[in-house]
Structure 1
Amino acid sequence: MALRSEARVDVSLEAWTDPEGAAAPAGGAPDPLAPGVLFAPALRADTTRKVNKPNVVWQLTGAWAHEGKTATGTAAVYYGLEPDGTPHEGLVNPMVFADGFNFGESNLDDLYAHLNAPYGAEGRRLLGQLQAAGVDIVLLGFKERHTYIQANAGVAVSAIRKAIADRQPGGAPLIVGGVSMGGLITRYALARMENEGEEHETGTYLSYDSPHNGAWIPVALQQLAYFFESVPDPSGNPKQAELIRSPAAQQLLWAWVENARDSGAVATWSKLRRDFLQDLKDVGWFPSKPGMRRIGVANGTGDTIGGPVQPDEEVFDWTRPGLARAVLRTQPAFGQMQEVVRMSAVLLGYRTSRTSEIPPLDGAPGGTLASYGMLADALGATIDERHRSGCFVPSVSAVALKYDPVTWDVDLKTDLNNLPAGRSDLDAFCCDTTNSEHSLVTETLAEWILAALTD
C-alpha cells in the first residue's frame, strides 16, 4: 500500500472543452457558488417539543491562550433527577459534553434538541434518560467553533474546573467528552491537564463520532469553494472557503488544500494540523489517568460495509450558461493524477484538479455528511440520490484505531466489530448498524451509551 503521505493534488490551469467540443463559459460575472456555509454538520432540532431551558448558564473564558487567541464559551447546565423525579439542587453527577465542528457560535438550545431527539420505535430520548438516571448534563458551547482546537480546549478546562468546584460533596466523578470535534477538544483538554499535573476528577471520557485521526471533506469540494470565493456575494453570509480555511478545519481534516491554484501534499499541507498532532503527542495523546475509562461511538459501521458512493463517478455537470461551469467527480481509489474536478468561470479562468494516492474515502464506512447533496441543491444541479451523502468521519477514525494520522496506513474497511484488544486508543466503543448521519443519535448508539454510563 502506498504511504498516504504521498497523497496529493495537482492543479493545471489550461483551458478545456467538453467532449462535444463546446467551449468553456465566456461572458459577464458569474453568480456566487452558493451562499452560506454548507460543508458542516447540521443539527437536527426537534420542532415537535418545547425547548428545555437550562437550570444554570455559565459564561466561560479559556484557561489559556493559543496563538494569541483566548477563546470564550458558554455552558448550559440541566440538572439530573432524584429517584423521586425532582431535580437535583446542584451538580451531583456532572457530564461535560462539548459541541463540535461548524462555523461561528454554538447554539446550545439546538444542541440539546439534537442530542435529545427521539429515537427508536418508542421515541426515547438520550439526554432525558440520562437526566432521569441522575446525570447532570453540562452542554459546552464555543463563541467560535471554527477557531483553534487548543484554544477551545482552554474553555473546556474552565468548564471542568467549574463543574468540580460546583459539584456537591460526595458527588460522582465527572463524565467528560463531546460530539464530533468536541471529542477532540475535550480529549486534548484532559490530556493537557494530566500533563501539567492538574487533577480533572474525570471517571469517563466519551466521544461521539469524533474524528480522532481526521475527517474528510472531498478535495474537489474544497477547491470549488476557493475557486468561486472571489465572486461577490451580497448576502454577507460567511462563504464556503471561510470554513475550509479556518484553523479548526485545517486541524481536523486529513486532506486539506490551501487554495484552488497550487499543487501539494494534502495530508501535510497545513502546518496547523501538523502542530496539533504534535501538541497531542506532547501532552500524552489521550488522557490516561489510572482507572479512567475512554469510550466512544461511531456513526459508521464496524462490519466493513461502506456507503453507496463508488470511486471515480460523475457527481454532476453544472453550468451557468455563458458564465461558469463545474464538472465534479467522486474521489477515485488511489491511482496517479486522477481527475476530480474541472472548473471555469468568466474572469476567474480555468482549473483542472487531479489527485494521486488518495483512498476512496467518499464510500468508506463512517458517519456521513451530505456534502455533495447540499452543494447540488444550492446550485440547482442534478444529482443521483446515492451521491448525496458520503463519509465524513471514517469509522476507523471515530473508534481511534491505532494508525499514523498522517500516512493513513490503514484499511478503511477494517473489521472493527472483531478487533483484537489493544488496537484502539479507546477502552471500549460501539459502531452503528448502518452508516448513519454524522452526530445523529441512533438507537444502537444511544442504548450503548446509556448502558455504559448508568449500569
Structure 2
Amino acid sequence: MVQPRIDVDPNLLDGLSELSPAQRDEVAALLPRGLWFSAPEAGRAAGERRDPDTEWTLTGDAYDGQVATGRAGVYYAPGRRTVTRPLVLADGFNYGPSDLPGLWAHFNAPYGKGEHFLDQLLEAGVDVVLLGFDERHTHIQANAEVAIALIRRLAADAEREDLIVGGVSMGGMITRYALAKMELDEEEHKTGTYFSWDTPHNGAWIPLILQQMAHFFEAFVPEVPGEPKQAELLRSPAAQQLLWAWVENSKYSGEVTRSPLRAAFLQDLERVGGFPSIPRKLGVANGDGQGTALELEPGEIAFDWKQALGAASATARVQPHLGEKERIGGMHIGLTVRRSTTTAVPALDGAPGGTLASFGLVAKALGIPIDARFNSSCFVPSVSAVAIGGEPVHDGDPAPDVSLLPRTLSALDDFQCNDGNSPHSEVTKKLADWLLPRLTK
C-alpha cells in the first residue's frame, strides 16, 4: 500500500539575494498579517451578544505541569437565580481567550423562521452554561481539566444524573475527554447526556498547500510584539492534536502523517476510555450525511496570485485525489521557491463536512479575487463529526453516504447530519430541530 506523502521540489533555489531591502519591504507590505485559519470572531456577530447573568472563574488541575484557566458564563432560565437544570456548552478551536458573549451570539443567531437555539433551551427550563478557555489553543487535556472543574461544581449541587455536558468543535473533544477521565478516576460527574456539535471526533483537515503557505510567508513578515504570526495557530498544541495531517514547515517532504502531539493525544484518549460510558452520547454534523461532496474539482486552481513586479507569487490547488506526484501548488519570494506535490492523498478539500473558508481567507488576505465556489473547503468531515471510521487520510473513505451505513458503526448513541454542507458550527434548522427535543425532554 502506497503511503500518503507530500514532496517539495529539492532542486529549487532558496535565497533572498536578488531582492533589495526596499523590495523586501514592498513584498512584506503585500503579505497577509496575523493568524491564518482561525475562525473569524466576526462570524459570531450574526446574533445579538449577551453578557452572562453571572460568571465563574475556573482553574483546572495541572496537566503535564501546565495549569489552564477559563470562565463559565451562566444564563439562567426565566424566573431563576440559581442553576437548577444546567447544560454546559464548551467553546471550540481558535486562538487566545474565549469570547462568551460572542459564543452566545453565534449559537443564538436566528435560523429557520426566526428561532433562536439558546433562547429555546432557556424557555424549556434549561440553564445554559457557556464554558470558555483563556487559551483555546493549548492542549486539549489541559482545558479538559478546566471542564472538570466546572463539572465538579455543577455535580456537587445535582441530585441526579441530569447534567447535560458537551461542546462545539474542539469543545466536544474537551468535554468528551473530561467525562471519560472522570469515569476512569471513579469520580461522579452526574452527567446524563453528552452532546457534540460538529466535533472532529476522528480528526479535522486543513489543506496541505495552505499550511505550507502559512509557514512560508510568515518568514517574510516582520514580527510585531504581542501579535501572533501566520502559522502560530498551526503550531499550537490544539491544532496539532486535532489535524489528521500536519505540516511542520514549508520545506517538509515525507509521509503525510499526524503530529507527534496528535499521536500522543490519541493514546491518552484511548487510555481514559475513548468516550464516557455513562451518559447518552449525541452528536450533530454540519456536513451532509448522504455523501454529497463540495463543488471542488480535485486538482483545479483555487487561486493564483502574482505580485506586480514578479517578486512574489502563490498558487493553491484543490487537493487532488490520490495519484502520484500530483501538483497542489507553490509559492515564491525572490529566489526562495516552493513547489509541492502529493501522492496517495485523498481529495479531502471537497469531502462532505462542516466547512471553513480556508482558501477564501487566504485569498482575501493576499488581496486577490476568488470564485465563491473555492471560498470554503472541508474542515470537519461528516464521518468524523459522527464518530464513524478512522482517519480518512490513512484508512477510511472521506465521502461515504452516512445514511447507508449501520448507525452502530458510530461511537455515538445517536446522531444527525445536516441537509447539505454548511459552515462549521453553524446553527441550522435541521440540526437544531433534531437536538432540541433530545436536550429538553
Q: Please classify the TM superposition score into its range, dividing by the shorter chain length.
A: over 0.9
Q: 2:137 aligns with which of 134, 146, 150?
A: 146
Q: Is the 8 A contact 1:92 1:172 kept in 2?
A: no
Amino acid at match of 2:76: Y
Instruction: Verify: 1:248 aligned to 2:238, yes or no.
Output: yes
Instruction: Verify: 1:432 aligned to 2:423, yes or no.
Output: no
SS for the counterpart of 1:316 is strand
Amino acid at match of 2:36: L
Aligned to 1:385: 372
Q: 1:338 aligns with which of 302, 306, 326?
A: 326
Correspondences of 1:44-55 after superposition (within 5 Å) = 44-46=43-45, 49=48, 51-55=49-53
Correspondences of 1:221-260 after superposition (within 5 Å) = 221-233=210-222, 236=225, 237-260=227-250
Structure 1 pair 192–378 and aligned structure 2 pair: CA distance change class (3 A): same
Aligned to 2:86: 94
Aligned to 2:360: 373
Q: Is the 8 A contact 2:73 2:130 kept in 1?
A: yes
Q: Is the 8 A contact 1:35 1:233 kept in 2?
A: no
SS for the counterpart of 1:340 is strand
Aligned to 2:407: 421
Distance 2:46 2:379 in 1: 26
Aligned to 2:103: 111
SS for the counterpart of 1:73 is strand
Amino acid at match of 1:411: D
Amino acid at match of 2:407: A
Q: 1:351 aligns with which of 322, 329, 338?
A: 338
Aligned to 1:394: 381
Q: Deviations over 1:360-417 (max 9, x none)?
A: 011110000111011111111232211111110000000000x233864222222212
Size of the aligned set, in residue pairs, is 430
SS for the counterpart of 1:354 is strand
Distance 2:57 2:304 in 1: 47
Distance 1:323 1:106 in 2: 39
CA drift of 1:171 comes to: 6.2
Structure 1 pair 70–115 and aligned structure 2 pair: CA distance change class (3 A): same
Q: 1:128 aligns with which of 74, 97, 119?
A: 119
RMSD: 1.9
Q: Gaps (5+ residues) in structure 2?
A: none
Aligned to 2:314: 326
Instruction: Verify: 1:9 aligned to 2:1, yes or no.
Output: no
Query: Which one is further off, 420-429 or 318-327?
Result: 318-327
Distance 1:157 1:226 in 2: 35
Distance 1:342 1:210 in 2: 31
Distance 2:247 2:238 in 1: 14
Distance 2:310 2:391 in 1: 43
SS for the counterpart of 2:34 is coil
Q: Deviations over 1:204-250 (max 9, x none)?
A: 00000000011010010000000111123365531221001111000
Distance 1:408 1:120 in 2: 38
Q: 1:287 aligns with which of 252, 276, 281?
A: 276
SS for the counterpart of 1:275 is helix
Q: Is the 8 A contact 1:338 1:354 kept in 2?
A: yes
Distance 2:122 2:341 in 1: 50
CA drift of 1:60 comes to: 0.6
Structure 1 pair 381–46 and aligned structure 2 pair: CA distance change class (3 A): closer
Q: Is the 8 A contact 2:33 2:221 kept in 1?
A: no
Q: Deviations over 1:276-323 (max 9, x none)?
A: 00001111011112xx21000000000110111111001121112232
Q: Is the 8 A contact 2:36 2:214 kept in 1?
A: no
Aligned to 1:37: 35
Amino acid at match of 2:256: V
Aligned to 2:263: 274
Q: Is the 8 A contact 1:9 1:263 kept in 2?
A: yes
Aligned to 2:61: 63
Q: Is the 8 A contact 1:35 1:235 kept in 2?
A: no
Distance 2:304 2:47 in 1: 38
Q: 2:391 aligns with which of 405, 411, 429?
A: 405
Instruction: Verify: 1:443 aligned to 2:432, yes or no.
Output: no
Distance 1:160 1:172 in 2: 12
Distance 2:374 2:72 in 1: 37
Distance 1:165 1:241 in 2: 41
Correspondences of 1:206-217 after superposition (within 5 Å) = 206-217=195-206
Amino acid at match of 1:59: T
SS for the counterpart of 1:352 is strand
Report the TM-score when normalising by structure 2: 0.93
Correspondences of 1:147-226 after superposition (within 5 Å) = 147-167=138-158, 170=159, 173-226=162-215
SS for the counterpart of 2:249 is coil
Distance 2:163 2:77 in 1: 13
Q: Is the 8 A contact 2:357 2:377 kept in 1?
A: yes
Aligned to 1:22: none
Distance 2:141 2:254 in 1: 26
Query: Which one is further off, 407-416 or 360-369?
Result: 407-416
Q: Is the 8 A contact 2:96 2:134 kept in 1?
A: yes
CA drift of 1:13 comes to: 3.6
Q: Is the 8 A contact 2:46 2:106 kept in 1?
A: no
CA drift of 1:275 comes to: 0.1
CA drift of 1:434 comes to: 1.3
Amino acid at match of 1:177: G
Instruction: Verify: 1:300 aligned to 2:291, yes or no.
Output: no
Name the % identity. 52
Distance 2:125 2:415 in 1: 23
Q: Is the 8 A contact 1:310 1:362 kept in 2?
A: no
Q: Is the 8 A contact 1:332 1:360 kept in 2?
A: yes
Amino acid at match of 1:267: T
